[in-house]
C-alpha cells in the first residue's frame, strides 16, 4: 500500500551506507519516503579497489537502489542529481530544474576525493569513489603495461612501468599491494618485450607511517608486508606536483604514467547547500542528534557530517559510522513522529579497523585485539562477504576470490570505455 | 622458449573466434606469431545481448587475450589498431604510425553493424558488437524507465516506455524477449509512478518472419513465444527513419526513445585494405583456401571473408564458421611450412542454429532435428556454457543464470558511464 499524499514526507538524499540504513530502519514507520541518488546503484565502496585492480566485476559490488526497496511501497526511488536545498521553502532543488518538497530532509551525500586545492591533479591522478573511477583506474593500469610492451624508448618504458599510489590509508595500502601482485606475480608471463616484475610500485605518504589509524605495530607489519610484495614505501614525503609524465615527491621528480589518488577526501557540498558552518574538509557542523543548526527538519549524516567521538577525535569516514548515524536518525524521526522524547545524543561505537595487503596478509585492529597475517586476512574476507547485500553477491564475490586464490589469476582484466561510445544527442 | 627472429613470422589481426582458433591450432608449429587486436580481450559475442539486458557482467564473457596465450612463448600479443596493409611490402600498418612486418598474414577482423547507408541512425540505434555497445544499450534501457518514472507528460512517458528492436534474427529476438521480461515481469514492482508492464516492446523486421535462417515451424513458434511475453512482432515492415524521439515504420511514426539495431552487419575493411573485390556486405572475396586472390601469403577468415557453402548459400557469420576457417588456415599453413600439399578446399560444416526467447523458451535447429521449448532452452544453455573459456567463466555464468532463474532478478542492472563522474568544484 502506498502512503497517502498527506503522510509525513521524508526525503533522503544519497543511497550510501548511511542513507540505506536510515530507510531500512524506517520500515513500517508510517512515513512517505523519497530516496534520491544521482546513481541508480548503491555501491559497496570498501571493495571498490578490487574493481580497480581487476579482481571483482562492477556488478558484484553494486545493487540497483530500487530493487533493494521494491517491497517497500512507502519508498519511492528517484534517479536525480541534487543541486541545492531551499531550507525555508522546504524543498530539495534538482539539477534538471525540478524540486522535491519535504517535511523532513536527511542529507547523506558522502564525500569525493580532495586534492588540497590542486584540482588540476585529478586529470592525472584519479581517486576512487565511483564505479567509473574504478574502471578508469583499471583501464589506465592495464594500458600502461600494454604501452610499455610496445615502447622502445627506455625512459618512457620505465615511466610506463612505474605506478604511484598517493596516500597510505587502507585504500592506498590495498591498491599498492594488489598492483604489486599484478606486476610481479601475475602479468609477467604474458608479456614478451618487457618484464613486468621490474615495474616499480610507489606508495607515497606525507605522514610518518602507513595506516596511521592503526597501532604502530600493525603499521610496521603492513609496511613490511608491502615491501615483501615489492612496493617501495616512501614515508614523510609529500607529493608536490603531479603531471602527465610524472610526480614530484618533495624535490625529486619521478617519471610515472599511472598515478592513483588515495590521499584526501572532501565532503559533498551539503554544508554549502544549507549555508551552515563546515570543517576544513567541508563537513557540515551538526548537533548531537545530527540536526543542522536551527533546522530540526534537516539531518546530515555520514561522510558529509562533522562529528566528534567521546574522546574528542573525529568520527571516521567509514561505513559503520555512516550506518550508525543512519540508524540513530531513524530513531529520532520515529520518536518525533510518535511525540516521544528523542533518544540521547548520537554516540559513535568504533568496531575496528581492517585492511588487506595483497592476497594473504591483512591487519585487524579491534581495539581489544590486534591481528595480522593470514588469520586477519580471513577475518577481513569473511567480514566483507557478510556485509555484502544478498546471497547472489556473496556467492559471486566468494567465487571470484576463491578463483583468484587457487588460480593466481584475476577475473576482470578488461580495458573498456577508453574511447567514447556513441552518445545520442538530446 | 621464444622463437628466433628468422623464424617464419605469422601476423594475425583480430582475436575473435577465428583468430583464436587459428593461433591455438598452430601450437608447436614452429612459427613466430604476433596476434594484434584493438581490444585487450576476446569477447564471447553470442552472449553479449545478456550484458546489454542486465543478466551477465562484462567480465563473465570477456578474457584478456594475453592471458589465453601466456604459456605460448611463440605468441606475442599486441594491443594496437590496424589501419591498413602494405601487401607488397609485407607489412601491417598501425593507426599510431607503426608497422608490423609479416611473412604470412591472416585477417580475422570481423564485422560491425551496417545501417544500409543511413549511418546517422547509429546515434539513435546502437548495434551490439562490443562491450561498450552492450553497456551503452544497458544504460539507455535502464535510463528510459528512470526518466519515465519522473516524466509528467503522457506522450513523452509513453515514448520513454516504448522499446524498438530492429531486425528479427537471433540477436533481435533474444534482445526483445529479455526486454519484455524486464518490463513486464521484473521491474514493475520497483516503480511507483509508472507501471512498467504497460511498456511496449516492438520487434521490427522487414522480412516475412522472425529467425529467417530457421525452418518456418520454429519461426512460428518463436513468434508465438515472443508475443506471449508481450513483444509486438511487426513483420514485413521496414524501418524508414530513426530519430531521437521515434522511429518510422513504413509510413507510421511511433514515439520511442530506446532503439537497438540488430538488422545488418558490414564486414571490417579488410577487402579495402587489400584492394580486392568484396560482396555487398564488404566481405572480401577469397579462394577455396581462404587466400586473398593473387596473395598466397594473405588469408582472410571469419565474418570479413565472403564464402559459399557447397549448396551455394553464403557461409553464415557465426562463431562455428569462423572457428572452422581458423582451423582450416592453420592446416594450410602447417602444410606449406612442411612443404606438403595443402589440404583440400575449405568446406563449411553447418552444426545448427540456436536462439532463445526469454528465460524458458528456445529453438534449436540441427538440420536433422528441430527442438523448441524448455528442452531447446537447456540445450542452448549447456552449449553456451560449454563454449565459454575456462572454469571460472563457466561457474560464474552458470551461477548468474541460476540466480536469474530462481530469483527472477537480473544481477547487472547498472547504469554506468553515462556522463563524466561529478567533479568536485574548488
Tell me the ipTM for this assembly.
Answer: 0.88
Q: How far is A393 from chain B (nearest CA, A)?
A: 9
Whether residue B419 is predicted with pLDDT greater than 80 in this model: the reply is no
Which of A263, A291, A309 corresponds to the end of one domain? Answer: A263
Which residue of chain A has the CA closest to B425? A119
Task: Kindly state whether residues B196 and B270 are assigned to the same domain.
Answer: no
Whether residue B298 is predicted with pLDDT greater than 90 in this model: the reply is yes
Count of domains in chain A? 2
Tell me whether residue B148 is in a domain: yes
Q: Which domain holds residue A251?
A: 119-263
Phi, psi of B256 (to 5 degrees): -165, 125
Which residue of chain B has the CA closest to A145? B79
Query: In angstroms, rounded to a whole number, what is the distance separating the alpha carbons of residues B69 and B378?
Result: 31
Query: In angstroms, rounded to a whole number, what is the distance separating the alpha carbons of residues B2 and B392?
Result: 29
Q: What residues of B are in contact with residue A156 (Cβ under 8 Å)?
A: none
Task: Kindly state whether residues B101 and B140 are assigned to the same domain.
Answer: no
Task: Kindly state whether residues A226 and A152 are assigned to the same domain.
Answer: yes
**Chain segment B246-255, per-residue pLDDT in tens:** 999 999 999 9
Which of B245, B263, B281 corresponds to the end of one domain? Answer: B263
Task: Kindly state whether residues A240 and A307 are assigned to the same domain.
Answer: no
Q: What residues of A are in contact with residue B77 (Cβ under 8 Å)?
A: 190, 192
Question: B414–A69: do the CB atoms touch at under 8 Å?
Answer: no
Residue B265: pLDDT band with limits 50, 70, 90: confident
Question: B140–A58: do the CB atoms touch at under 8 Å?
Answer: no
Which of B205, B232, B263 corresponds to the end of one domain? Answer: B263
Question: B396–A411: do the CB atoms touch at under 8 Å?
Answer: yes
pLDDT of residue B418: 60
Task: Kindly state whether residues A256 and A287 are assigned to the same domain.
Answer: no
Greater confidence, A386 or B154? Answer: B154
Tell me whether residue A275 is in a domain: yes
Q: What residues of A are in contact with residue B9 (Cβ under 8 Å)?
A: none
Tell me whether residue B333 is in a domain: yes
For the question of residue A71 being annotated catalytic, the response is no
Question: A190–B77: do the CB atoms touch at under 8 Å?
Answer: yes
Tell me whether residue B393 is in a domain: no
Q: Which residues of chain A, if any, have pLDDT below 50? A: 1, 419-426
Task: Kindly state whether residues B211 and B313 are assigned to the same domain.
Answer: no
**Chain segment A14-28, per-residue pLDDT in tens:** 999 999 999 999 999
Task: Kindly state whether residues B187 and B307 are assigned to the same domain.
Answer: no
Q: At what angle do helices B319-337 and B17-25 cross, to 10 degrees?
A: 30
Give per-residue burial for A47-84: e unless 16+ CB within 10 Å, then b: bbbbbbbbbbbbbbbbbbbbbbbbebebbbbbbbebee
Residue B5: pLDDT band with limits 50, 70, 90: low
Q: Which residue has the cell 567465487?
A: A399
Which among A76, A409, A421 has CB closest to B67? A409
Phi, psi of B333 (to 5 degrees): -65, -45
Which among A67, A119, A392 has CB closest to B190? A67
Which residue of chain B has the CA closest to A76? B192
Q: What residues of B are in contact with residue A64 (Cβ under 8 Å)?
A: 190, 413-414
Task: Kindly state whether residues B255 and B269 are assigned to the same domain.
Answer: no
Task: Kindly state whether residues A123 and A222 are assigned to the same domain.
Answer: yes
Q: How far is A422 from chain B (nearest CA, A)?
A: 6
Q: Which of B151, B174, B181, B205 is catalytic?
A: B174
Q: What residues of B are in contact with residue A73 (Cβ under 8 Å)?
A: 192
Task: Kindly state whether residues B127 and B257 are assigned to the same domain.
Answer: yes
Across the A:B interface, residue pairs with CB atoms under 8 Å apart total 168
Tell me whether residue B422 is in a domain: no
Q: What residues of B are in contact with residue A189 (Cβ under 8 Å)?
A: 70-71
Which among A142, A399, A419 has CB closest to B395? A399
Task: Kindly state whether residues A225 and A278 are assigned to the same domain.
Answer: no
**Chain segment A311-331, per-residue pLDDT in tens:** 888 899 999 999 999 999 999
Question: A422–B2: do the CB atoms touch at under 8 Å?
Answer: no
Question: B76–A424: do the CB atoms touch at under 8 Å?
Answer: no
- The enclosing domain of A315 has a CATH number of 3.50.50.60
pLDDT of residue B342: 81
pLDDT of residue A312: 84
- The enclosing domain of A174 has a CATH number of 3.50.50.100
pLDDT of residue A342: 81
Which residue of chain A has the CA closest to B188? A70
Tell me whether residue B161 is in a domain: yes
pLDDT of residue B425: 30
Whether residue B421 is predicted with pLDDT greater than 60 in this model: the reply is no
Q: Which of A60, A81, A146, A174 is catalytic?
A: A174
Tell me whether residue A74 is in a domain: no
Task: Kindly state whether residues A156 and A233 are assigned to the same domain.
Answer: yes
**Chain segment B389-399, per-residue pLDDT in tens:** 888 888 888 88
**Chain segment B75-106, per-residue pLDDT in tens:** 999 999 999 999 999 999 999 999 999 999 99
CB atoms under 10 Å from CB of B252, counted, come to 10
Tell me whether residue A52 is in a domain: no
Which among A57, A189, A423 has CB closest to B58? A57
pLDDT of residue A294: 93
Question: A70–B422: do the CB atoms touch at under 8 Å?
Answer: no
Amino acid at each position: 500500500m502506498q502512503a497517502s499524499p498527506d503522510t509525513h514526507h521524508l526525503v533522503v538524499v544519497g543511497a550510501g551506507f548511511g542513507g540505506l540504513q536510515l530507510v531500512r530502519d524506517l520500515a513500517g514507520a508510517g512515513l512517505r519516503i523519497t530516496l534520491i541518488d544521482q546513481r541508480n546503484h548503491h555501491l559497496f565502496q570498501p571493495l571498490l579497489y578490487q574493481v580497480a585492480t581487476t579482481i571483482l566485476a562492477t556488478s558484484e559490488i553494486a545493487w540497483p537502489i530500487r530493487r533493494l526497496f521494491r517491497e517497500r511501497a512507502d519508498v519511492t526511488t528517484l534517479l536525480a542529481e541534487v543541486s541545492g536545498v531551499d531550507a525555508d521553502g522546504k524543498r530539495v532543488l534538482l539539477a534538471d530544474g525540478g524540486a522535491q518538497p519535504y517535511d523532513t530532509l536527511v542529507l547523506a551525500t558522502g564525500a569525493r576525493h580532495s586534492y588540497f586545492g590542486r584540482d588540476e591533479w585529478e586529470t592525472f591522478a584519479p581517486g576512487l569513489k565511483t564505479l567509473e573511477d574504478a574502471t578508469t583506474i583499471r583501464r589506465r593500469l592495464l594500458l600502461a603495461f600494454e604501452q610499455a610492451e610496445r615502447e622502445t624508448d627506455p625512459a618512457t618504458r620505465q615511466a610506463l612501468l612505474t605506478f604511484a599510489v598517493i596516500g597510505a590509508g587502507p585504500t592506498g595500502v590495498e591498491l599498492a599491494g594488489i598492483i604489486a601482485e599484478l606486476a610481479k606475480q601475475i602479468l609477467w608471463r604474458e608479456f614478451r618485450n618487457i618484464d613486468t616484475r621490474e615495474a616499480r610500485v610507489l606508495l607515497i605518504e606525507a605522514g610518518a607511517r602507513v595506516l596511521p589509524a592503526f597501532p604502530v605495530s600493525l603499521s610496521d607489519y603492513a609496511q613490511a608486508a608491502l615491501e615483501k610484495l615489492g612496493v617501495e614505501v616512501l614515508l614523510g614525503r609529500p607529493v608536490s606536483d603531479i603531471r602527465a609524465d610524472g610526480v614530484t615527491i618533495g624535490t625529486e621528480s619521478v617519471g610515472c604514467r599511472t598515478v592513483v589518488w588515495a590521499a584526501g577526501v572532501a565532503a559533498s557540498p551539503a554544508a554549502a547547500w544549507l549555508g551552515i558552518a563546515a570543517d576544513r574538509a567541508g563537513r557540515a557542523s551538526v548537533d548531537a542528534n545530527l540536526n543542522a543548526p536551527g533546522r530540526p527538519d534537516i539531518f546530515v549524516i555520514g561522510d558529509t557530517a562533522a562529528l566528534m567521538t567521546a574522546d574528542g577525535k573525529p568520527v571516521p569516514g567509514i561505513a559503520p559510522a555512516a550506518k550508525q548515524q543512519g540508524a540513530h536518525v531513524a530513531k529520532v524521526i520515529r520518536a518525533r513522529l510518535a511525540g516521544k522524547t528523542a533518544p540521547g545524543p548520537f554516540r559513535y561505537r568504533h568496531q575496528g579497523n581492517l585492511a588487506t595487503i595483497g592476497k594473504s596478509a591483512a591487519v585487524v585492529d579491534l581495539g581489544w585485539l590486534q591481528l595480522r597475517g593470514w588469520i586477519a586476512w580471513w577475518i577481513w574476507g569473511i567480514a566483507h562477504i557478510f556485509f555484502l547485500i544478498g546471497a547472489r553477491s556473496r556467492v559471486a564475490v566468494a567465487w571470484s576470490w576463491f578463483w583468484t586464490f587457487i588460480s593466481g589469476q584475476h577475473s576482470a582484466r578488461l580495458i573498456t570505455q577508453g574511447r567514447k561510445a556513441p552518445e545520442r544527442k538530446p
